[in-house]
Structure 1
Amino acid sequence: MGFREIFGILPEATAQAPGRVNLLGEHTDYQEGYVLPSPLPYLTQVEAARAEGRVEAYSETLRELRARPLGSPPQGDFLDYLLGVVWALGEAGHPVEGARFYVRSDLPMGAGLSSSAALEVAALRALRALYRLPLSDLELALLAQRAEAEYVGVRCGLMDQMASSLGRVGQALFLDTRTLAYENLPLPPGTRVAVLDLGLKRRLAEGAYNERRQEAEEAARRLGVRALRDVADLCLVESLPSPLDRRARHIVGENLRVLRGVEALRRGDARAFGELMTQSHRSLSRDYEVSLPELDALVEEALQAGALGAKLTGAGFGGAVVALVPEGEWRAFKDRLEARLAGLKIL
């Protein structure tokens, strides 16, 4: 099955974009903080052609063909992301008359690996080529984030789309989400990033993510700052009522962990970086309360199997765990986890 079999014509443009894991900096991006994601060698590919007044798309993974007119409201399916990027282009002064898309991907959906951002960025790259739009990779990331936040309804920060559009596989993207300054940094030498997926699916648009974001905004308001990124002293968050104190403690501490993580990357200190990852997970579990017992247990299993550090990746409420593993111990690490955990996928 391919584009021609579905639509009866040949595609006019092809593009792709990677998913990502987040090594450090979870739930900091919507408080103008620091993040440290790393693109994965797993891609979403989009073939595209022009259409008139509508968006049509076939998902090879879902084996679904969907179509809606331009301007249609979101309906909670994968087509929302494609209609969303067309809408965002129009809002930015780049009207697109319509498009057909054929989507294939080897990224697990719902695993916290940013399959939605990969789809958005890939589709925007295809539309940029198709309509010869004068847009930079940074502008594509901003448009993709706007599509997801304002059209789809997931009030995400900018990290996922920036990692998919600007990151490099095998490196970490250090991003200041306030200034949009970014730098690609090498991962610690002699290590390997593993993604551990138990198939714990999640749906961010169902409210829990947006609730955490609202709590963070209220914490910043009560502390009298524009964003929690501006709180330098962890002691200040103790004045907040529960659960705002815990939410703010995670974000303020997580920003510090990113900055320390960047220092560890610069000096090639894999052990220090791994310890920061594990600290991040424990904060996400206890203070931000976005983990699950299964994710907590998987982190501990990864550490016992030889990982230098491990944490949930993505917004939580399901998804996958990312672990930093010494290259020389990779086979033993993988064999031990697969023997202990039925159904675990290791990427």
Structure 2
Amino acid sequence: MNLLGEHTDYNDGFVLPTAIPQRTTVAARRNGGAEFVLHAATLDREARFTLDSQPEEQFARYVYGCLRCLADEGTEVPGMDLHVESDVPMGVGLSSSAALEVAVLRAVRELLGLSLDDVRIAQLAQRAEIEHAGVNCGIMDQMASSLAGTDSMLFLDTRSLARRLVPMPSGTELLVVDSGLSRSLAGSAYNERRAQCEAAASALGVASLRDVDDVKAVESLPEPLRRRARHVVTENARVLRAVEGVDAETFGVLMNASHASLRDDYEVSVPPLDALVALLHAHPSVHGARLTGAGFGGACVALCREGEAERAGRDAVERYGAQGQSGRVLVPRSETA
């Protein structure tokens, strides 16, 4: 999940994700043929394909893309049986596709003895999603899935891929709540937002919005490019402020400002998400909260006082339910789940 730096990765900007405890596991074996047999246990579905043609099933295209990218780079990829199990929530902005891609590539690396480091795994996973799943994504999700841990934040410069682990603010823990609104990146305005950012950068005469340091520089742009660019510039600044080592209260203020920017300038929130975030903002155990992921539904993340996240999540979900919505706490995981 991403704590700060939303929609900045495809603008060569800065991001601050961390890993969730849920996992995706892929088992792979050679089957002696040229066909790939993919069983997705969570979906209870199977797909069969070869490297000569993309499978019709959308879930299989992520796997096909990883295998195809390896083959395109000269790896001899034999036919395989692949079994996927995952408890990473799908369609809620928690990088389930990136987890799948990274797990597939790690399994194939192990099976074939490939010399791919974890950064190269992330790069191949991103390429697979762009070229074969139809999502013109940045590299944040794949880098986080490949390199991040659950007990710290990964500060990543998506242009240079320079990175370092950053401790969480002292005395805090994270809460993730699913809004109950599933969304698909490929079917949303995600690709449109990326195109708008590219148009804004071109109009400003820079390679990407990462190169704009002064938010006043975007004021000359026409709408909606002005607001799109303003979000990216201010969001980068929020990440850089957060990694200076701020306290929990300041980090929460940055999260709240991020959500407002995603809602008003980037326009990727929806009313139920805003309502859930407002409930989290109002809870005494919450320092700050925002949508996480690309938006248009999905999940919210909150920074809470240590030991109080589960209760804050239950309280917010109960009040959210009273508004006619159906949410659920994803992190921390309940001991009875």
TM-score, normalised to structure 2, is 0.93
Aligned-pair CA distance for 1:315: 0.6
Aligned-pair CA distance for 1:261: 0.9
Aligned to 2:290, what secondary structure does the other structure show? strand
The answer (yes or no) to whether the contact 1:55–1:82 under 8 Å persists in 2 is no
Residue 86 of structure 1 corresponds to which residue in structure 2? Answer: 67
Residue 147 of structure 1 corresponds to which residue in structure 2? Answer: 128
Aligned to 1:206, what secondary structure does the other structure show? coil
| 1:104-161 Cα shifts (integer Å, max 9, x gaps) | 1111100000000000000100000000001000100000000001121100000000
Aligned-pair CA distance for 1:282: 0.5
Residue 296 of structure 1 corresponds to which residue in structure 2? Answer: 274
Residue 289 of structure 2 corresponds to which residue in structure 1? Answer: 310
Residue 13 of structure 1 corresponds to which residue in structure 2? Answer: none
Residue 170 of structure 2 corresponds to which residue in structure 1? Answer: 189
> Could you tell me how far apart the structure 2 residues matched to 1:116 and 1:335 are?
27
Q: 1:298 to 1:57 in 2, by over 3 A?
A: same
Q: 1:309 to 1:76 in 2, by over 3 A?
A: farther
The answer (yes or no) to whether the contact 1:200–1:319 under 8 Å persists in 2 is yes
The answer (yes or no) to whether the contact 2:215–2:234 under 8 Å persists in 1 is yes
Aligned-pair CA distance for 1:75: 2.9
> Could you tell me how far apart the structure 2 residues matched to 1:338 and 1:281 are?
19
The answer (yes or no) to whether the contact 1:74–1:151 under 8 Å persists in 2 is no
Aligned-pair CA distance for 1:231: 0.4
Aligned to 1:149, what secondary structure does the other structure show? helix
Matched residue type, 1:107: V
| Aligned mate of 1:30, from 10, 30, 37 | 10
Residue 9 of structure 1 corresponds to which residue in structure 2? Answer: none
Aligned-pair CA distance for 1:92: 2.2
Residue 214 of structure 2 corresponds to which residue in structure 1? Answer: 233
Aligned-pair CA distance for 1:328: 4.2
Q: Give the gaps of 5 or more residues in structure 2.
A: 331-337
Matched residue type, 2:261: S
Deviates more, 1:88-97 or 1:218-227: 88-97
Q: 1:158 to 1:205 in 2, by over 3 A?
A: same
Aligned-pair CA distance for 1:207: 4.7
| Aligned mate of 1:262, from 239, 243, 246 | 243
Aligned-pair CA distance for 1:339: 2.6
The answer (yes or no) to whether the contact 1:86–1:98 under 8 Å persists in 2 is no
Task: Answer yes or no: is 1:345 the counterpart of 2:328.
Answer: yes
> Could you tell me how far apart the structure 2 residues matched to 1:333 and 1:206 are?
32
Task: Answer yes or no: is 1:327 the counterpart of 2:318.
Answer: no
Q: 1:136 to 1:211 in 2, by over 3 A?
A: same
| Aligned mate of 2:24, from 25, 39, 44 | 44
> Could you tell me how far apart the structure 1 residues matched to 2:55 and 2:260 are?
35
Q: 1:76 to 1:248 in 2, by over 3 A?
A: farther
Aligned to 1:40, what secondary structure does the other structure show? coil
> Could you tell me how far apart the structure 2 residues matched to 1:151 and 1:345 are?
31
Aligned-pair CA distance for 1:186: 1.3
The answer (yes or no) to whether the contact 1:74–1:152 under 8 Å persists in 2 is no
Pairwise mapping of residues 207-222 of structure 1 onto structure 2 (< 5 A)?
207-222=188-203
> Could you tell me how far apart the structure 2 residues matched to 1:95 and 1:252 are?
43
Of Structure 1 and Structure 2, which has the larger fraction of its residues in strand?
1
Q: CA RMSD in A?
A: 1.3
Residue 81 of structure 2 corresponds to which residue in structure 1? Answer: 100
Aligned residues: 324
> Could you tell me how far apart the structure 2 residues matched to 1:40 and 1:331 are?
15
Aligned to 2:19, what secondary structure does the other structure show? strand
Residue 284 of structure 1 corresponds to which residue in structure 2? Answer: 262
Deviates more, 1:96-105 or 1:170-179: 96-105
Deviates more, 1:240-249 or 1:43-52: 43-52
Aligned-pair CA distance for 1:203: 0.9
Residue 115 of structure 1 corresponds to which residue in structure 2? Answer: 96
> Could you tell me how far apart the structure 1 residues matched to 2:203 and 2:75 are?
39
Matched residue type, 1:319: G
